[in-house]
Amino acid sequence: MSNTFVPPLDWPHYGIGFLPAVKRAFQKYATFSGRASRSEFWWWVLANAVIGTVLYLLTLVLGIASASKPGQVIGPAGWPFGILLLVWALGTIVPTIAVSVRRLHDAGYSGWFYLFNIVGLGIVTLVLCALETSPKAPQYGPPYPDNFGQQQGYGQQPYGQPGFEQQQGYGQQPGSEQQQGYGQQPGSEQQQGYGQQPGSEQQQGYGQQPGNPAGDQQPPPQTS
């Protein structure tokens, strides 16, 4: 059983295939809100171009071959494909605009940028649609940042996922419970005092005689 996550219809579908992208474009036929991934957009553009080109060539080739009267350009054999071409061209105007507007939203731009096509600057719209998903995209529709913690594996690892209980401290070695003190030797519980000899419990005081823990001098002998 496949574990591939299929996003809701109002979400962009990143990494979608050819046929699912075409199906999704027709399912959202006149949906101008929301977002569309680059794969959704480009698969639709490819399908539209391929089907339109095939129908045009069939209309032209069969029409010319079946033309019998002088001056007739398209013969009877080309008429059915010409009609299909006209129906496809008219029927895909709305979904083409819709998927382009949603793609502009996912790139972080307003859908009104599609109007560049009307003034002969369609290349501008095409370049904008080729851009990657923008951080501003959530203002045009889901998924929102909160959704990433709910659907695992869709564009982002959920923060606090099991298996990452705690990050090791800076400079701490794996498996060590606590970082050693600065200058402390491994295995030593406490750093020796400055000038203290190894094995000695306490450094003798200045002027203190060995064996005299208090460090006091002996009182002078009394004279009679």
pLDDT in tens, 139-163: 999 988 766 444 444 444 333 333 3
Residues 6+ apart with CB under 8 A from 41: 99, 100, 102, 103, 129
DSSP string, 50-88: HHHHHHHHHHHHHHHHT--STT--S-GGGHHHHHHHHHH
Distance, C-alpha 1 to centroid of its chain: 25
**Preceding peptide of 143 cis, ω within 30°:** yes
pLDDT range class, residue 219, cuts 50, 70, 90: low
* Segment 124-129 mean pLDDT: 95
Residues of the chain above pLDDT 90, percent: 50
Between 85-89, 126-130, 202-206, the lowest mean confidence (pLDDT) is in: 202-206
3-state secondary structure of 126: helix
- Pairwise CA distance, residues 137 & 108, whole Å: 5
pTM for this entry: 0.63
